Chains A and B, each alone.
Chain A
Amino acid sequence: MIDLLYGIPVIGLVFQFVGYVIDVMPIIAPTIIGAATPIALGAMCGFMNERSGVVNIGIEGMMLTAAFVAWWTASLTAQLIPEGPAGPLGISTPLLIGLVAAIGAAMLVSLVHAWLSITVRADQIISGTIINIFAVGITGYLNLLVSRSAPPSAGQFSRWEPPGEVTELPFIGWLFDAFLAQGPIGLGLLVAVIVMQILLFRSRWGLRTRAVGEHPEAAETVGIDVIGLRYRNVILGGVFAGLAGAYLTIEFGNSFQGEMTNGRGFIALAALIFGRWTPLGAFGAAILFTASEGIQRAVRFGPPEGTLGEFLAAVPSQFYSAVPYLITIIILAGVVGRSLAPAAIGRPFSREKRERRIQPSDSASEAGR
């Protein structure tokens, strides 16, 4: 039956490809999930911002800052306190302090973003740009200074080992292995995605957030504190960016390099758009995006046989890396299913229902506020 499908000219190749992906998926799935975790966490940060009507292209910078802070604080703590036994999942005091510090740092950066976007009503893209430039500068600057003394690494969180009864289940066991054999941050993401998805569509907070993101004027009329909610959501979004950064330096790896986020913050933005601004969608999109690179690696190490193998080997590896970005452009252009942003996104809210600078005397009162 399957051979019959594979035999069809051209379309047969598609079936062969699907068959190949199904074959290799159990092997490459853990890598894919591991690579998707920081992207999904970054997308969760973007989700908290954009659902409440604030654009955030500074996810990259927030992640980078958090990555550095996590690594540096953990390393400093490890030098100060005597080494204690690591708990389950490799949890130790330095790593925990590093994690908390990373979250705090990302929340602080988010506070700056919130202040610029909500109170100052500066352009939100520019606010994000400032964060990105600053993060590259300050982490690169400090990293160079700090690494002169070659500080020791504080190690990293270790993976949870799911019980064998689950991972050895036929057909779907590998899924549990891929999703559950992760460190605390990776496991935390799974919980966060589900909880946030439910909260967004089933809670008072979710309803209010969506209202503020779609039509802040209407939300205000029914008594929602638009500015307060936006502040809270943007700053809480920083928690996810902090986790994303910490994941890179104290869970996935155990060291920091300059500009190590390497565009993950922007792929996170793409995942958010592709996932239609929902947590579950963004998580799925992040997995889909990293699967592209995972398949590329699989093709390099164990290409399928026959024409499909020759065809896949001929596709440049860079193409697989570009796929997430290309898909996002196509989706945005509405060629295949349009993705709609929250309606009020990027528009600063002003209680007086008028934008700044319409009247020349406005900025004086602004400064005095």
Chain B
Amino acid sequence: MNDGPITSQGLRDEHPPQASTPRGPTRGSLARRVLRTALLPAAAIVLALVVGAVIMIASSPLVGGSIDLALPLTAYGALLSGSLGSFNAIVSTLVQATPLILAGLAVGIGFKAGLFNIGAQGQFLVGALSAAAAGVASADLPPIVAIALAVAAGMAAGTAYGFIPGFLKAYTGAHEVVTTIMLNYVAIQIVAYVVSGPLRGENVSFARTETITNAALPVLVGRDGHIGILFAALAVPIIAWLLFRSTLGFEIRTVGANPDAARYAGMHPRRLIILTMALGGLLAGLAGATEILGQTGHMPAAYATSVGFDAIAVALLGRAHPVGILFAGLLFGAMRAGAGLMQIQAGIPVQMINVLQAVILFFLAADLIVRALIRTRTDDGGVAEMQTITRSYGEQTAN
């Protein structure tokens, strides 16, 4: 009988780890599997666009003075042309997607280990701060050295900041959801203190660091397509390899699927929890570093960003799979890139993007609505990570 909370561990991994059996899918079955995996998220996106359209029409009297049934078309058209309509628009989409993909991987790798890393936001912030500090300090060094130092500093700070909740979870049982939420707010205060105090630049109109010179990421393509895009592009296959082809990834997924079995098999759940959280911190810290070194060029004391929270949406939409996260990150990046044009051309405030993201997540979480609507049995268990993570919230004992 499996009726207790301990035995029913849930299926966090879509495809439970298989020791060494090659999966060897034929071409046809691979295509079908991709289709089955992508169908549910795709349906959720379409439904969210419909809901967004309804909201726009309902609020159109506030936008233009009267009910305007064509408003969603104008808005989505502007969103599309602002994100894919020109070469610069596409580059802008890639730039916006970069931190989302990196931070999305940070959250996604946590899901694989059964951990809910809400702390990507804080890890992103300390990574950004640390990269800015190193970038300002290395202004006299040759660019290659300066960039390497600043990026490494961002990753190191993120790793350390991810290590804390991992350690607390492993050795004291403090649930990572609560500790990472708290650490996100601590990070805001750390940034505010450091940037308005020791790191404050001279002759700046508001509290921010000096402008980063030699450590700034060089532009590769278009107006602002910095090499940080490559970091994200490289991180996806690296994390995919790590998760699905390496021993460490196998152990991470096993711990996520069943910590008891993992321990029985001689793995060390505690060490793996800490490692996974630190690795997530590294990725989120890298995301912060690329944003500061490639985009803003300095660190403001009140750095308004929601990358770390959007990353949760990215990881869920991408079903915690690196390739899925890549596409989800590109989608949300495109939305961010096109939102400005949507506001200018259609008068729809950029916050509509948040509404769309939330509604996409809603339909993913309430997948039974989608399943009823599209009348299909898609790949089952794909969003299992959406159902079992909180299971350990009340458990105060370590694994």
Contact = CB atoms under 8 A, between A and B. Distances in A.
B175 to A, nearest CB: 7
Interface in B355-394: 355-359, 361-362, 365-366, 368, 371-372, 377, 380-381, 384-394
A270 interface: yes
Contact of A140 (B59, B179, B354, B390): B354
A213 to B, nearest CB: 9
Interface stretch (A94-102, A118-126, A154-162, A280-288): A118-126
B159 to A, nearest CB: 18
Given A334-B174, A363-B368, A342 B2 contact: no
A63 to B, nearest CB: 15
Given A325-B185, A326-B186, A129 B174 contact: no
Contacts of A338: 396
A116 B383 CA distance: 14
A367 B354 contact: no
B355 A138 contact: yes
A121 B396 contact: no
B262 interface: no
Nearest to A356: B387
Interface in A33-63: 55, 57
A329 B351 contact: no
Which secondary structure characterizes the binding site on chain A?
helix
A319 B365 contact: no
A134 B355 contact: yes
Interface stretch (B79-87, B237-245, B309-317): B309-317
A86 to B, nearest CB: 29
Contacts of B144: none
Contacts of A115: 366
Given A125-B116, A138-B355, A357-B381, A332 B174 contact: yes
Interface string A130-145: 1111101111111011
B352 A328 contact: no
B43 interface: no
B309 A126 contact: no
A357 B351 contact: no
A357 B368 contact: no
A226 interface: no
B38 interface: no
Contacts, number: 202
A141 B365 contact: no
B2 A358 contact: yes
B5 to A, nearest CB: 6
A318 interface: yes
A367 B396 contact: no
Nearest to B355: A137
B398 to A, nearest CB: 11
A360 interface: yes
Contacts of A360: 380
Given A125-B389, A316-B197, A334 B2 contact: no
Interface residues of A, number: 70
A137 B354 contact: yes
Contacts of B371: 363, 367
B190 interface: yes
Contact of A367 (B182, B306, B352, B368): B368
B49 to A, nearest CB: 14
A123 B387 contact: yes
A269 interface: yes
A134 B365 contact: no
Contacts of B168: 329, 332-333
A138 B348 CA distance: 12
A195 interface: no
Nearest to A122: B365
Contacts of A322: 185-186, 189-190
Contact of A316 (B181, B193, B377, B389): B193
A329 B119 CA distance: 13
B181 to A, nearest CB: 5
A219 interface: no
Given A116-B362, A266-B185, A329-B179, 17 more contacts: A57-B177, A123-B365, A123-B390, A129-B361, A133-B313, A137-B353, A138-B354, A140-B354, A263-B185, A325-B182, A333-B172, A341-B396, A344-B394, A346-B393, A347-B390, A353-B3, A354-B3
23 contacts: A116-B366, A122-B365, A123-B390, A126-B312, A133-B357, A137-B351, A138-B55, A140-B349, A145-B63, A145-B349, A326-B186, A328-B182, A329-B179, A332-B175, A333-B174, A345-B393, A345-B394, A346-B393, A346-B394, A347-B391, A354-B2, A363-B368, A363-B380
Interface of B: 2-3, 5, 8, 10-11, 55, 59, 62-63, 116, 118, 168, 172-175, 177-179, 181-183, 185-186, 189-190, 192-193, 197, 306, 309-310, 312-313, 316, 348-349, 351-359, 361-362, 365-366, 368, 371-372, 377, 380-381, 384-394, 396
A-B residue pairs, 10 tightest by C-beta: A137-B354, A346-B390, A134-B358, A140-B351, A346-B393, A137-B355, A332-B174, A345-B394, A145-B62, A122-B365
